[in-house]
Amino acid sequence: MVDVVCQRCGTEFYASPSRVRDGWGKFCSFKCRDDGKKTELVCKYCGIKYKVQNCQLRGSRAGKYCSKECFINDKKKYLILECVVCGKEFRRKLSQITGTHRGPYCSRECYWKSGDVPKGAETGTWQGGMSTTTCDCCGVVFEYYQYHTRDSQPRFCSRECYFTSNTGENHCQWRGGRVYYYGPNWYKMRGEARRAGNFECALCLSKESDVGQELDVHHIIPFREFGIENYLQANDGDNLICLCKSCHQILEKGAISI
């Protein structure tokens, strides 16, 4: 055995010649060995001295805080301020003071009362403000925000006026309303039109057996143009065709024509 002096605490201890030769006989204990790889620092938040491994002294947060709690608490520092409007004392985070309007005001109400709030054309999002126009339905003069209608002015002051002007005969696509009665010979002529069309759609050629229901019978010239007094001419076989429901709806919307 060989007498060796601990490089950490200075205590003499015995070590085998082979360990000294291999470079292991430097510390008297594991504690001294671990302490030799640490650096003593002072916590930035609480001021307590602590030790940290040398390999951990990397990065922006390394070597500044003794614990995660100190790091979080240091980032949440509060300052006591006095509101410039009402004089009330309040707490605010340091990050909420610099670069924002929230700093000298205790509440949103005080901020609006301060007069520092940009208004109208002073704001960066100003789009013209309010304007006035006349309702096409009731004639009332009403105000509206110009950014709501960038392409054109509004025509109606309320939803009720809009629906009143776009319902029934006032609608731009009004065709006279729906006819519920096609005369006493309608069901007879309807059956003959289906048989004449071989029970298949005149446009897509789908059969009643394919769609699982009876096909519709459509008036080529609308029944409303004849009137109920001329139902014989309206229900003539040359004026009736057989259609499936999907083709009938497309035809009624005017997307296709016969």
Half-sphere exposure of 219 (CA within 13 A, CB side): 18
The answer to whether 130 and 144 have CB atoms below 8 angstroms apart is yes
Which stretches of the chain drop beneath a pLDDT of 50? Answer: none
The answer to whether 13 and 28 have CB atoms below 8 angstroms apart is yes
pLDDT of residue 195: 92
**DSSP H or E run through 3:** strand 2-5
Which 8-state DSSP code applies to residue 207? Answer: B
Cβ atoms within 10 Å of 115's Cβ, excluding its own: 8
d(CA 247, CA 211): 12
Q: Who's near 52: CB < 8 A, 6+ residues apart?
A: 38, 39, 41, 62, 63
The answer to whether 110 and 83 have CB atoms below 8 angstroms apart is yes
pLDDT of residue 98: 61
Task: Summarize pLDDT for 2-16 with one digit per residue, the tens.
Answer: 677 777 677 877 677
- Degrees, nearest 5: CA angle 9-10-15: 105
Phi, psi of 66 (to 5 degrees): -80, -20
pLDDT of residue 201: 92
